[in-house]
Chains A and B, each alone.
Chain A
Amino acid sequence: MNDLKKPEKIKLRVNRKDYTVTSHPDQPLLWVIRENLGLTGTKYGCGISLCGACTVLVGGEAVRSCVTPVGSVAGKEIVTIEGLSPDGSHPLQKAWREYDVPQCGYCHSGQILSAAALLAKNPSPGEAEIEEAMSGIICRCGTYQRIRYAIRRASQMMAEGGKK
């Protein structure tokens, strides 16, 4: 790690908005999103990619922002929980509300964005595919069962929406 290198200007595109931030390119994206952009919906849980609370979408992929150097995602399309939908109306957010999924709520930005990346690629995932996509995000409150129900429900909503 080149600790002493001076910060640089880095162009970021987050939630369809362009930003120029001043940061060392090695700084994890998580801290730039939270501290420079003030988007605190993305959470710190472990700092080493073990819990998934920091998950954001980069080019549609679920990425752990706590280990993603900000310099590596310059110019890429980044989506945080704040940008998933303008008004909390993404099918996953609706389903999350229907099942009242969150308890403490701290991990759910990561949960929802991981599920969003899954459904964007695979709108009707099987149980094994859901498990694979979701097992990287820890919920200490144990809301996993409701997360599973809500993902199935959102998938169903998307299918119904598609028919209309």
Chain B
Amino acid sequence: MNRILNVSRRNFCRAGLLGGGLILAFSLPGRRALGQAAPVGGSFAPSAFLRINPKGETTIFANKSEMGQGVYTSLPMLIAEELEADWTKIKVEPAPVDPAFNHTQWGPVQGTGGSTSVRSEWERLRRVGAAARIMLVRAAAETWRVDPAACRAEKGFVIHEDSKRRLSYANLVGMASRLKAPQDIPLKDPKEFKIIGQPVKRLDTPEKITGKAVFGFDVQFPGLLTAVVARPPVFGGKMKSFNSDKTKKIPGVKAIIPVPSGVAVVAVGFWAATLGREALEIEWDEGALSNLNTPALREEYAARARKPGMAAGGRGNADEALEKAPKKLEAEYEVPYLAHACMEPLNCTVDFRGDRAEIWTGTQMQTGDRNAAARILGLEPEQVKLRTTYLGGGFGRRANPASDFVTEAAQIAKVLGKPVKLVWTREDDTRGGYYRPAWHNHLAAGLDEDGKLTAWKHTIVGQSILAGTPFEGMIQNGVDRTSVEGAHDLPYAVPNLLVDLHSPKTGVPVLWWRSVGHSQTAFAVESFVDEAAYAAGKDPFEFRRLLLENHPRHKAVLEQAAEKAGWGASLPAGQARGIAVHESFGSFVAQVAEVSVGPSGEIRVHRVVCAVDCGRVVNPDTVAAQMESGIVFGLTAALYGEITFKNGRVEQSNFNDYEMLRFGEMPKVEVVIIPSEEPVGGIGEPGVPPIAPAVGNAIFSLTGKRLRRLPFRAEELKKG
């Protein structure tokens, strides 16, 4: 028997359409949209995050995409905590696209990113749970004709202590759904938390170890065809003409469709589609970027970095202080374009039926993607049902304001008139753009006679990821904050600071990449502060610590990481430690890396001690997992990641030339979580920024060579 997965018939229930259960519609005032005025009062849509059925099964609709970061567990934990739910009865389903599920901080869009999922839902989802609990308690109290205040809820039951009576939520859903939602919804004192703060097992693990989890790539149903697109070899290129005679002869090829991004080949299955694409003969107009070459671009950036840019932050008078400083140092730090390289290549399935459409895709940006498809298909957004699947990695790539993969799929579906799954091959994914921008940093620092920092200048050169997108309004006074984050607000005590920015346009499509601007500013800043420490003749850990007196959370993680790593204690011969600390997305992370360098210059990271203060912790095991993950992500970039151009063509294609860290290279990672009652911080991204500088600093400590360009190059470390 063939088992064909038919996602459209999975019980993808829409809250609000189901009878017999308590559906809690609930809303909180949304906060101000990015770059927009406060919305006119009262215009808030109802929400539906929670359903308890008469069996007591409690379904939580997750409005954040699960891409590995654990939100399909941490978001339900927020509701379950206040609901006093029986955790074993909790199920999670992806929320449909609906204004009810809009981001609480981003304006009228549903999406996942910026390490905001738990932070932005912390209040709203706990209130959803609390309101439901209040109603269930009232339902029980009315049944028993007792005072609700004499009842309490516990593990899916309402209990009346005096009479020792108890009723399960399953038995109360009918009555509770006839009650009015409470106006006053007090929340627990965090001291009473039973679920939040515990290492709760992920709800998605069972599906992910049995092959049952459905990713976008796995969507299949009878009649679904597969499409791949032949795209120009150079960004901005256009198809001039094509000959598909050979393609048409390949068994299984059903259609050849020109689309704005190239030529689509539609076939029965992946193999026929890719064979069909290989057989296409296409003449391209390569456009203006066919002379793009990485060495020339690097030189251009370096030249710009020596000139003042748009002021992005500072204090005092850095130029004057630098002029006067008895000791000066200056350095340039460089990082390349990077692909996200999600393990699951991009894909999108569209079933267009003239007056409506269904879309299945792993996206981080539901509203934008749905609306883009609707525009192409000539439909109202409400006529398009977008189903969010599991994401085989996201890292920002699946949050594209240009909706590139959804747009392509909709364009093909519109012409084809049949259900179609657009897939990108690994090569398409590596060469398809929307990279982390390449960056060049010019830094200068001044020290006084005592080795104290008196001046710090940092000029940053690189493309704005917001320019030309709907988020362009966030660029203020010419400064895209995501370009300077992690640099403009240098935490170290230096009286004179200047950070400025050049945002050249190169035509290469760029996008946020896990930890965004921090992914490179931390490398520049934390490496250069290490240089300053050596110039001052101080220990790099002590030097930082003394400059962080006014930043206790930075200081605490720094001290914890150093202590746990045994900073200063001896290591096996041929190994050295490096340290770095960085704040991003509301969390503070310090890492100590233990590194050795082999005779051919090969870098080996043996151990990483990571201290994190992410405010109040929801799921400590997720925090640890995200630190491990961020370290691998950052280390992969530090050791391997590089997208380069030759005559406009991306030189990398697959994992042979765009390499990933592998099992045998995994350092031992030890995570220390600082207990904290501070507001919840982000956790998906903050583990990434410190690792590259921590490793680079260790390499310097070991070899005396300061590597200022990523990825680190073995040839620079070769002995003899």
A interface with B by C-beta (< 8 Å): 1, 3-4, 6-7, 17, 19, 24, 27-28, 31, 34-48, 50-51, 53, 80-82, 88, 93, 96-97, 100-109, 112, 131-132, 134-148
**Which residues of chain B (635-668) have a CB below 8 Å from chain A?**
636, 654-656, 660-664, 666, 668
Known pairs A1-B275, A102-B68, A105-B208 / 17 extra A-B pairs, C-beta < 8 Å: A3-B250, A4-B249, A34-B218, A35-B269, A43-B343, A43-B392, A48-B656, A50-B655, A96-B205, A100-B625, A103-B68, A104-B392, A134-B664, A135-B663, A139-B632, A140-B395, A148-B666
Question: Contact: B393 with A31, CB < 8 Å?
Answer: no
Interface residue? B88 (CB, 8 A): no
Known: A44-B270, A51-B343. A103 touches B251 (CB 8 A): no
Interface centre among B208, B628, B629, B630 (most CB of A within 10 A): B208
Residues of A within 8 A of B68 (CB): 102-105, 141
Residues of B within 8 A of A145 (CB): 628, 666, 668-669
Segment among B1-9, B42-50, B96-104, B502-510 that sits at the interface with chain A: B1-9
Residues of A within 8 A of B456 (CB): none
Interface residue? B536 (CB, 8 A): no
Residues of A within 8 A of B202 (CB): 100, 102
Residue pairs across A and B with Cβ atoms less than 8 A apart, 23 shown, are A7-B251, A31-B271, A43-B344, A44-B217, A45-B345, A45-B426, A46-B426, A48-B426, A48-B656, A81-B209, A88-B209, A93-B209, A100-B201, A102-B205, A102-B209, A106-B343, A109-B211, A132-B664, A137-B663, A142-B629, A142-B632, A144-B663, A145-B668
Question: Contact: B628 with A38, CB < 8 Å?
Answer: no
Question: Contact: A104 with B663, CB < 8 Å?
Answer: no
Question: Contact: B3 with A37, CB < 8 Å?
Answer: yes
Measured CB to CB, the nearest residue on chain A to B654 is A46
Interface residue? B213 (CB, 8 A): yes
Interface residue? B220 (CB, 8 A): yes
Cα of A143 to Cα of B251 in the assembled complex, Å:
40
Residues of A within 8 A of B632 (CB): 139, 141-142, 144
Closest-CB distance, A50 to chain B (whole angstroms): 4
Closest-CB distance, A52 to chain B (whole angstroms): 10
Question: Contact: A139 with B270, CB < 8 Å?
Answer: no
Known: A4-B249, A53-B343, A107-B343. A47 touches B426 (CB 8 A): yes
Residues of B within 8 A of A100 (CB): 201-202, 205, 621, 625
Residues of A within 8 A of B205 (CB): 96-97, 100-102
Residues of B within 8 A of A40 (CB): 5, 211, 214, 217-218, 220
Cα of A88 to Cα of B425 in the assembled complex, Å:
30
Interface residue? B182 (CB, 8 A): no
> Residues of B within 8 Å of A, CB-based: how many?
68
Cα of A45 to Cα of B668 in the assembled complex, Å:
26
Cα of A40 to Cα of B2 in the assembled complex, Å:
12
Question: Contact: B625 with A28, CB < 8 Å?
Answer: no
Question: Contact: A24 with B4, CB < 8 Å?
Answer: no
Give the residue of A6, A51, A97, A142 whose beta carbon is less than 8 angstroms from that of B209. A97
Question: Contact: A41 with B633, CB < 8 Å?
Answer: no
Question: Contact: B211 with A82, CB < 8 Å?
Answer: yes
Question: Contact: B664 with A36, CB < 8 Å?
Answer: no
Measured CB to CB, the nearest residue on chain B to A19 is B2
Closest-CB distance, A124 to chain B (whole angstroms): 18
Residues of A within 8 A of B66 (CB): 104
Question: Contact: B271 with A103, CB < 8 Å?
Answer: no
Interface residue? B70 (CB, 8 A): yes
Measured CB to CB, the nearest residue on chain B to A37 is B2
Question: Contact: B392 with A108, CB < 8 Å?
Answer: no
Interface residue? B210 (CB, 8 A): yes
**Which residues of chain B (660-717) have a CB below 8 Å from chain A?**
660-664, 666, 668-669
Question: Contact: B392 with A38, CB < 8 Å?
Answer: no
Cα of A144 to Cα of B205 in the assembled complex, Å:
16
Measured CB to CB, the nearest residue on chain B to A88 is B210
Question: Contact: A36 with B2, CB < 8 Å?
Answer: yes
Residues of A within 8 A of B656 (CB): 48, 50
Interface residue? B204 (CB, 8 A): yes
Interface residue? B212 (CB, 8 A): yes
Give the residue of B1, B5, B342, B630 whose beta carbon is less than 8 angstroms from that of A140. B342
Residues of A within 8 A of B663 (CB): 131, 134-135, 137, 139, 144, 147-148
B interface with A by C-beta (< 8 Å): 1-5, 66-70, 201-202, 204-215, 217-218, 220, 249-251, 269-271, 275, 279, 341-345, 390-395, 425-426, 621, 625, 628-633, 636, 654-656, 660-664, 666, 668-669
Interface centre among B210, B269, B392, B654 (most CB of A within 10 A): B210
Cα of A141 to Cα of B208 in the assembled complex, Å:
14
Question: Contact: B625 with A104, CB < 8 Å?
Answer: no
Measured CB to CB, the nearest residue on chain A to B268 is A35
Interface centre among B3, B67, B211, B275 (most CB of A within 10 A): B211
Residues of A within 8 A of B426 (CB): 45-48, 51
Give the residue of B207, B211, B250, B269 whose beta carbon is less than 8 angstroms from that of A31. B269
Question: Contact: B345 with A81, CB < 8 Å?
Answer: no
Closest-CB distance, B106 to chain A (whole angstroms): 23
Cα of A13 to Cα of B636 in the assembled complex, Å:
39
Closest-CB distance, A119 to chain B (whole angstroms): 15
Measured CB to CB, the nearest residue on chain A to B211 is A41
Residues of B within 8 A of A28 (CB): 271
Cα of A42 to Cα of B636 in the assembled complex, Å:
25
Residues of A within 8 A of B395 (CB): 140
Measured CB to CB, the nearest residue on chain A to B635 is A142
Interface centre among B66, B202, B249, B668 (most CB of A within 10 A): B202
Residues of B within 8 A of A48 (CB): 426, 654, 656
Question: Contact: B5 with A38, CB < 8 Å?
Answer: yes
Residues of B within 8 A of A147 (CB): 663
Residues of A within 8 A of B630 (CB): 142
Residues of A within 8 A of B394 (CB): 104
Closest-CB distance, A91 to chain B (whole angstroms): 12
Give the residue of B3, B215, B661 whose beta carbon is less than 8 angstroms from that of A106. B215
Question: Contact: A45 with B210, CB < 8 Å?
Answer: no
Residues of B within 8 A of A6 (CB): 251
Question: Contact: A80 with B655, CB < 8 Å?
Answer: no
Question: Contact: B660 with A138, CB < 8 Å?
Answer: yes
Cα of A121 to Cα of B499 in the assembled complex, Å:
59
Question: Contact: A4 with B217, CB < 8 Å?
Answer: no
Residues of B within 8 A of A146 (CB): 625, 628
Known: A135-B663, A137-B663, A145-B668. A103 touches B69 (CB 8 A): yes
Measured CB to CB, the nearest residue on chain B to A26 is B271
Interface centre among A24, A37, A41, A103 (most CB of B within 10 A): A103
Question: Contact: A140 with B393, CB < 8 Å?
Answer: yes
Closest-CB distance, B414 to chain A (whole angstroms): 24
Interface centre among B68, B204, B215 (most CB of A within 10 A): B68
Measured CB to CB, the nearest residue on chain B to A137 is B663
Closest-CB distance, A15 to chain B (whole angstroms): 10
Cα of A1 to Cα of B246 in the assembled complex, Å:
14
Question: Contact: A140 with B343, CB < 8 Å?
Answer: yes
Residues of B within 8 A of A45 (CB): 343-345, 426
Closest-CB distance, B273 to chain A (whole angstroms): 10
- Sorted nearest first, the 5 A-B pairs with minimum C-beta distance are A41-B211, A142-B632, A106-B392, A103-B68, A105-B208
